[in-house]
Structures are given as structure tokens and as C-alpha cells.
Amino acid sequence: MDEETGGVADIAEIMRLLPHRYPFLMIDRVIDMRADEHAVGIKNVTFDEPFLVHYPNKIPIMPGVLMIEGMAQTIGVLCLRSIPASERPRSLFFVTMDKVKFREGAVPGDTLEYHVDKIMRRSSVGRYRGEAKVGRKLIAEAEVGLFMPLGRQ
């Protein structure tokens, strides 16, 4: 696999590809990338995350919608990395969430894995299936649609 379409994306490459920054960057690295077909995004949830929801006498929990955002960011890295650098759009837009299910929350100490697979992609529109897992346990899932404004530099 060549460097642009496969393998691993570390935090430096993620930040080069995506406009998101702390505290809204929901992935720490992306592994197991295969062209624009499949990837696994990794997010280590820590106790000091500013987005954790705190309930009295309960362990803080990561909001489910941010897990879906982590899936979308993983897909964004996968899509943008599959496009030659000279042709990459500056923006990528998260446009749909379908078949969303939240099964359990992520808590500090969890390593979230966002498993994403392409359903279809035509030019500037793509649809992907994502699953958020902690270990082997499925905690959230969704189908996500993205739009890339190609040719609008």
C-alpha cells in the first residue's frame, strides 16, 4: 500500500487533513486503512475531556452524538487520504445520520474504536456504515453521509 491510500494516519496527518482541533477532534489516530473502503479510528477517552457529561454520583459519559462525529471524522480521513493531495477539497461536510443506535456510553479509560466501511461513493457524495466499539462490545452504530465539494478550491 502506498502512503496516501493505506495503513495508518497519526495525529499530525489527521490535523493536516481535517480542520477540527481540540476539543472537537474526536480521533487520535486511524489504523487499518484500505483505500476508501475501510478504516478504524481510535479515540482514547480521558477524564479531563471537556465534553464529558457529568451526572451526580455517576461516572462521566461521552455524549453519543460525539461518537457519531468521531465516526464521521474517521470517514473524512479515509476519504481525503484517497484523493491526490493536489485535488483534495479544503472542506468535507457531514450531511446525514441514519439508522443511529446508541447502546451504551463511553467513559474515561475507554479506548473507542470507530470501525467504518464504505457503502457507496459517487464523485463528491459518500455513504458509510460506522460502529463504535469498546473492545469487542458494540456501543453505537450509524450510517453517515458525507459531501466533498470537489473542484471548488
Q: What is the pLDDT along the chain (153 residues), one digit of tens a residue?
A: 444 446 999 999 999 999 999 999 999 999 999 988 999 999 999 999 998 988 888 889 999 999 999 999 999 999 999 888 888 888 889 999 999 999 999 999 999 999 999 999 988 899 999 999 999 999 999 999 999 887 654
Give pLDDT, residue 4. Answer: 47
Domains of the chain, earliest start first: 6-147 (3.10.129.10)
Residue 149 confidence (pLDDT): 87
> How far is residue 45's CA from residue 32's CA, in Å, rounded to a whole number?
20
Q: Which residues contact 123 (CB under 8 A, 6 or more apart)?
A: 150
Residues catalogued as catalytic: 54
Predicted pLDDT of residue 3: 47
What pLDDT shows up at residue 93? 92
**Encoded amino acid at 133, one letter:** K
The whole-number pLDDT of residue 129 equals 98
* Per-residue model confidence (pLDDT) at position 151: 67
pLDDT of residue 114: 98
SS (H, E, C) 61-130: EECHHHHHHHHHHHHHHHHHHCCCHHHCCCCCEEEEEEEEEECCCECCCCEEEEEEEEEEEECCEEEEEE
Distances, alpha carbon 92 to alpha carbons 53, 72, 107, in Å: 28, 10, 28
